[in-house]
Amino acid sequence: MKKYKLHLYYKNELIGKYNTRTDDWNDMYNEMTYAIIKQGFQSGHTIPQQIKKFKIYCEAIYKQKINCEKIRHSDFYMFLTCYFALVKYNIISTDNFIFIKKKKCVY
């Protein structure tokens, strides 16, 4: 099984790295974000309302990173969810993250 590391940038700042099994962001979107967006629609939130909430959360995590505060794993996972929702809504470009294949070290 191939393993990758996802490097996420927000406003040109590396927010974090995340281990994945795929290098396809659509797979990650379907796994992590689709349910949140669907739930938002079921709750009566419009696309602009959802975008605003996702941006607010991403900004909060960005400020934590800038202020050198520790970002909990659960907060980073939620950041991933909001981040990929913003990518899906074309607010964040797909140029702001990169998948790097992990190679096994052979000594």
Asked if residue 107 has pLDDT above 80, the reply is no
61-102 pLDDT, tens digit per residue, is 999 999 999 989 999 989 999 999 999 999 988 787 887 877
The structure tokens listed for 89 are: 């809504």
Angle at which helix 34-42 crosses helix 47-66, to 10 degrees, equals 130
4-61 pLDDT, tens digit per residue, is 888 889 998 989 888 888 888 888 888 889 999 999 999 999 999 999 999 999 999 9
Asked if residue 106 has pLDDT above 70, the reply is no
Distance, in Å, from the CA atom of 92 to the CA atom of 28, rounded to the nearest integer, reads 15
Cβ neighbours of residue 60 under 8 Å, at least 6 residues apart? Answer: none
Please report, for the chain, the start and end positions of each structural domain, with discontinuous segments joined by +: 4-101
Assessment of whether the complete model's pTM goes beyond 0.85: no
